[in-house]
């Protein structure tokens, strides 16, 4: 503010800078706030980047523990199959102790410390990476895997004790596929009509659990003959198949999730009825579908001992995670030496990450052939029924008449 005052014929000018002073102060405060905020954002971003980097490094350290655990499993398998009974027994006892020092006690990690540093040379200690705890068990409470369309998994059914039932669960929330609008649904697609007919492969709805073909292959302790796989003797059988059809509606009188491998529809004329499994579309349980299946005794089986395999095939659907559990009536039985569980904790500086991995011990993930003949092009087939040897075509197939795709 500028004020003029006339006094005794002279003029005096008074200047008051209150407004200017406030403008300068507020401007300085605003610049300070912006500067401090910018610095705070920079520090926060740097801390976040450092934290993410340490978290990733800790995860890598945990994975290093998993890889060393695989070395222990390879040595364990070599000792047990190679006749080194003492080493096999020592490693088995070490695994069963459940100690964080499993790899140190097994002689895989060459250190007496409680944690194993991740380093290639002495200077790598500055990175402060290590795995602090690795636990390993070969007797898992379940078997988990993934089924894709037209692929199979052959799972050994081998328990730490006798069993006569299995439970099969499949399709997790992570199996849901995105819609056309790039959104992921929250519910499972299920048929609402009981006994629905099977559609063409291309018409199977997205986000509907797979139709699972479950095949039991087994034999008793007294050995077997190949003919036993095609015969049922006194209610006992060595080969059975169930087609587990996921459904949202079940025919009246059909159990929702309890089945018996003895009810093999391939051995009867009524091949229309599939084994309808009542599935949930809201994931109230970890898996959408669950089937409990009773195993018949094997041909020649006079006790509870058996050698059994379960072959699972997804005829429709893709990316279905599944889980198998063994039971002796109502008592759960652990798998024995089928799929190992590795629990590893890694560290990078003061950040920790923990991972759990499954390791196949019995070749369950081996890509077994799905058919007797597999071709990528045309397959020429000639069919001829005749009593005259001269009618046979020794010159090969004639594509114009007999070629089929």
Q: Are residues 203 and 254 in the same domain?
A: yes
Contacts of 2 (CB under 8 A, 6+ apart): 13, 14, 15, 16
Q: Are residues 109 and 197 in the same domain?
A: no
Q: What is the pLDDT of residue 125?
A: 61
Q: At residue 139, does pLDDT exceed 70?
A: yes
Q: Are residues 353 and 263 in the same domain?
A: no
- CA distances (Å), origin 54, targets 28, 304, 349: 38, 52, 7
Rounded percentage of the chain residues whose pLDDT exceeds 70: 81
Rounded percentage of the chain residues whose pLDDT exceeds 90: 28
C-alpha span between 175 and 148 (Å, rounded): 11
Residue 1 confidence class, pLDDT cut points 50, 70, 90: low
Residue 301 confidence class, pLDDT cut points 50, 70, 90: confident
C-alpha count within 13 angstroms, C-beta hemisphere, residue 25: 6
Are residues 322 and 213 in contact, defined by beta-carbon separation less than 8 angstroms?
A: no
Domain that holds residue 75: 15-118+127-140+345-360
Residue 209, both tokens: 């659990």
Q: Are residues 134 and 259 in the same domain?
A: no
- Domain-located, residue 395: no
Domain count, the chain: 2
C-alpha span between 367 and 265 (Å, rounded): 27
Q: Are residues 216 and 327 in the same domain?
A: yes
The sign one gets for the Cα dihedral 320, 325, 326, 328 is negative
DSSP summary character for residue 220? -
Q: What is the pLDDT of residues 194-244, one digit of tens each?
A: 666 778 888 888 888 989 999 999 888 777 778 778 777 777 888 888 888
Q: What is the mean pLDDT of residues 147-154?
A: 84
Q: What is the pLDDT of residue 320?
A: 86
Q: Are residues 96 and 168 in the same domain?
A: no
- Domain-located, residue 356: yes
Residue 73 confidence class, pLDDT cut points 50, 70, 90: very high
DSSP summary character for residue 295? P
Are residues 187 and 281 in contact, defined by beta-carbon separation less than 8 angstroms?
A: yes
Q: What are phi and psi of 393, to 5 degrees?
A: -95, 105
C-alpha span between 70 and 340 (Å, rounded): 9
Q: What is the pLDDT of residues 48-67, one digit of tens each?
A: 887 888 889 899 999 999 99
Q: What is the pLDDT of residue 168?
A: 94
- Domain-located, residue 226: yes
Are residues 192 and 248 in contact, defined by beta-carbon separation less than 8 angstroms?
A: yes
- Helix H, strand E, coil C: the string for 239-274 is EEEEEEEEECCCCCCCCCCEEECCCCHHHCCCCCCC
- Domain-located, residue 278: yes
Q: What is the mean pLDDT of residues 134-154?
A: 89
Residue 331 confidence class, pLDDT cut points 50, 70, 90: very high
Q: What is the mean pLDDT of residues 69-76?
A: 92
- Domain-located, residue 392: no
């Amino acid at each position: 503010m500028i004020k003029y005052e006339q006094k005794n014929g002279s003029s005096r000018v008074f200047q008051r800078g209150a407004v200017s002073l406030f403008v300068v102060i507020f401007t300085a405060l605003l610049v300070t706030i912006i500067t401090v905020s910018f610095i705070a954002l920079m520090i926060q971003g740097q801390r976040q980047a450092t934290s993410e980097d340490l978290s990733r490094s800790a995860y890598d350290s945990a994975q290093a523990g998993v890889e060393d655990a695989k070395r222990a499993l390879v040595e364990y398998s070599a000792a047990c199959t190679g006749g080194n009974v003492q080493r096999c027994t020592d490693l088995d006892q070490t695994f069963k102790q459940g100690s964080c020092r499993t790899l140190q006690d097994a002689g895989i990690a060459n250190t007496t410390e409680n944690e194993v540093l991740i380093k290639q040379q002495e200077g790598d200690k500055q990175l402060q990476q290590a795995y602090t705890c690795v636990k390993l068990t070969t007797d898992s409470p379940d078997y988990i895997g993934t089924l894709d369309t037209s692929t199979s998994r052959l799972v050994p059914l081998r328990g730490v004790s006798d069993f006569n039932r299995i439970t099969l669960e499949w399709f997790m929330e992570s199996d849901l596929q995105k819609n056309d609008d790039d959104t992921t649904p929250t519910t499972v697609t299920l048929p609402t009509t009981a006994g629905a007919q099977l559609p063409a492969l291309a018409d199977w709805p997205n986000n509907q659990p797979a139709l699972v073909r479950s095949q039991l292959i087994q034999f008793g302790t007294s050995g077997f003959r190949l003919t036993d796989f095609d015969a049922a003797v006194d209610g006992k059988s060595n080969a059975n198949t169930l087609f587990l059809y996921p459904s949202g509606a079940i025919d009246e009188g059909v159990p929702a999730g309890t089945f018996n491998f003895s009810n093999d529809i391939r051995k009867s004329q009524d091949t229309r009825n599939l084994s309808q499994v009542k599935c949930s579309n809201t994931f109230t349980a970890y898996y959408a579908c669950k089937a409990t299946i009773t195993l018949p005794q094997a041909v020649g089986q006079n006790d509870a001992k058996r050698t059994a395999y379960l072959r699972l095939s997804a005829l429709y659907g893709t990316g279905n995670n599944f889980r198998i559990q063994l039971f002796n009536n109502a008592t759960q039985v652990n798998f024995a030496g089928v799929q190992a569980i590795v629990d590893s904790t890694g560290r990078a500086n003061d950040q920790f990450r923990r991972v759990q991995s499954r390791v196949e011990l019995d070749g369950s993930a081996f890509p077994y052939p799905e058919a007797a003949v597999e071709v990528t092009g045309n397959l020429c087939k000639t069919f001829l029924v005749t009593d005259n040897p001269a009618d046979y075509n020794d010159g090969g197939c004639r594509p114009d008449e007999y070629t089929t795709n």
